Amino acid sequence: MQASIAEMKFRTGPIPPWISLPAKKFFRHSSALKELTTSKEISLKLTTTRRLWSQQETTLLTKFYPTDTAIKVIAERLGRSPQAVANKAKRLGLRRPLTLKRQRAAQARKNVDIVNERHNSPASAIPGVFPKTASGRAIWNTQSLHLLADLWKRLYSPAFIAEYFGLKYNTVCMAAKRAGLPSRAGFTLLRTSPTENPFAVAENATLASQMIARTCGITNTVFFQHPKDRRQQHYSYLGSRLVERRASGCFH
């Protein structure tokens, strides 16, 4: 007699019902596994590594970056992105040339000697030696603060002072605040110089009387204060902040 597996009885107990199911439901075909593996491999993205800079590329970057050539053009020549070119130039210590505004200001400072022959103002000989770092940033010492104060009391706007010295607008405003220069609210500010030499313009008597120059004993730089504050204020803006930080126990 032949009997199906489902009809067979064993001593251990009844046969589970899944015994009679076809074997295809328990085994995956090899072609399906191959297809699944292939699809996974295709969906993976290949990782790209950064290409190292060759000696020739570094030489070209050193040659063209300090010139007026646009960074985008340099990047196209080297086959790299503009950001990669800028990052590499920063690591090499390369700098872009001065902007047109700073070039005009630099040219104006070079022509100061010619202008001084026409105007005999004692302050007109100072602008040509405005102290700056190699990167073009202003050095706010006693000399540069006196230059700023001379233009400030002649009612020149911060925008004109920034363009004349080749600085930024916010830099001039912050330097004026730290130097203690008085507010010029209510005055009409000059956006351009009526003469070739800005220092040839007469000073405003009201502002000049409110600007008493003193030397800070902490920062060793000049600052300006109102006559009524001479007995109360003994340090500059930065000197006072340094005293407060020392008093609070912060020495950094």
pLDDT at 124: 39
Q: Taking the domains of the chain in order of start, what are their residue ranges?
A: 55-92, 102-247
Taking only the tens place, the pLDDT of each residue in 60-85 is: 888 888 888 888 889 999 999 999 99
Torsion from C-alpha of 110, 175, 99, 101, nearest 10 degrees: -60
pLDDT at 68: 80
pLDDT in tens, the chain (252 residues): 455 555 555 555 566 666 666 665 555 555 555 555 554 454 555 556 678 888 889 888 888 888 888 888 899 999 999 999 989 888 888 877 765 556 666 666 665 544 444 444 434 334 445 778 877 778 888 888 888 999 999 999 999 998 888 888 999 998 888 888 888 888 889 988 888 888 888 888 888 888 878 777 666 678 787 777 666 666 666 656 665 666 666 555
CA nearest 165: which of 183, 178, 185, 149? Answer: 149
Taking only the tens place, the pLDDT of each residue in 6-15 is: 555 555 556 6
Handedness of CA 81, 85, 90, 95 (dihedral sign): negative
Name 53's bridge partners: none
CB of 171 closer than 8 Å to CB of 138: yes
pLDDT at 155: 92
Helix (H) or strand (E) run with residue 9 in it: none
Q: For residues 114 and 137, give the distance between their C-alpha atoms in angstroms, rounded to a whole number.
A: 26
Residue that is written with structure tokens 């000696």 in the block: 55
Write the CA distances from 215 to 138, 154, 158, 222, 230, integer angstroms: 20, 22, 24, 4, 12
